[in-house]
Structure 1
Amino acid sequence: MIITKQNRRVIYETLFKEGVLVAPKDFNKPAHPDIPSVRNLEVIKAMQSLTSKGYVKTQFSWQWYYYTLTEEGLAYLREFLNLPSEIVPQTHMKPARPQGRPSGYGGDRREGGAYRAPRGDREYRRRDDGAGDKEGASGDYRPRFGGVGRGAGAPPS
């Protein structure tokens, strides 16, 4: 398909800036959702061309094309758009992390102990001493798990 240089350049600039590009599978759509000056068919065909050269990876899901720029495609677009190597797509940038510890680190912890969730209105049900008024069964208690006659074994005689 013949795509004007101006439209091809706009498509490539958008792809390089974001690092990814999406397009609905609608060949008759008059304009692409992200690039209103370019027809959707031109975007799909330009990306199809880059995919065949190995510069873009294509994923199709739910009637949408998802295009991801590869390392080879990054080098190709840098050369095509005459960009320096310092400029990278947004998907290749590392997020800026603040230096040092966050201010709210360990705010709910007591001195010298691990975090313990607040107990709320059920505090009266818990005991910290471990003693209880309920005791287990006596030592000679032997529970019987008798079935309904399907593999439970013979009853004791």
Structure 2
Amino acid sequence: MLISKQNRKLIYEALFKDGVLVAKKDFNIKHKEIRVPNLEVIMAMKSLNSRGYITTIFSWQYFYYTLTEEGIEYLRQYLNLPAGIVPNSMKRVARPAAPRFSARPEREGAGFGQGRDEYRRRSAAPKEGADGSFRPQFRGGF
């Protein structure tokens, strides 16, 4: 299929930008993100897939395309991009370090441990209910 150079460049730029591309299996609509006919997007991806530049997964009437390492190199050459530029899916996300908590400060009369001694003293007090001599008997009968 003949795809205009302008549309092919738009498709390849969108693919390289994120490293992935999704296309609905509907040949009569325009692609939502790229604004070119969806048939051209699917056929351009089919061409890249046959050359081993992308991997294709089809699920629930959608095509999911993912760039391979060879595909990244090919698109860099095709789009005249420097070697330092990589797709967003290949970039490492700098996550903020988890906050470090030091040992819990020991303060008198504050926090979770404020009533420990009182709690332990209360548990030593006699409990309500039956005493230790109570022995229930169960007689199996109706």
Q: 1:44-91 CA distances to partner (integer Å, 9 max, x unpaired)? A: 010111111111111112211111111110011111111111111111
Where in structure 2 are the equivalents of 1:117-136 lying within 5 Å?
128-129=119-120, 131=123, 133=127
Q: Distance in 2 between matches of 1:7 and 1:23?
A: 15
Instruction: Select 1:111's aligned residue among 105, 108, 111.
Output: 105
Q: Which residue of structure 1 aligns with residue 9 of structure 2?
A: 9
Instruction: Select 1:90's aligned residue among 85, 88, 91.
Output: 88
Runs of 4+, deviation exceeding 4 Å: none
Is the helix fraction higher in 1 or 2?
A: 2
Identity of matched residues, %: 54
Q: Distance in 1 between matches of 2:62 and 2:128?
A: 64
Q: Which residue of structure 1 aligns with residue 68 of structure 2?
A: 70
Q: Which residue of structure 2 aligns with residue 154 of structure 1?
A: none
Q: What is the deviation of 1:134?
A: 7.4
Instruction: Select 2:44's aligned residue among 42, 46, 55.
Output: 46
Letter in 1 for 2:120: D
TM-score (norm 1): 0.66
Q: Distance in 1 between matches of 2:51 and 2:44?
A: 11
RMSD: 3.4
Task: Name the count of aligned residue pairs.
Answer: 128
| Bigger relative CO (Cα 8 Å, ≥ 6 apart) | 2
Unaligned runs of 5+ in 1: 113-117, 119-126, 147-157
Unaligned runs of 5+ in 2: 107-111, 113-117
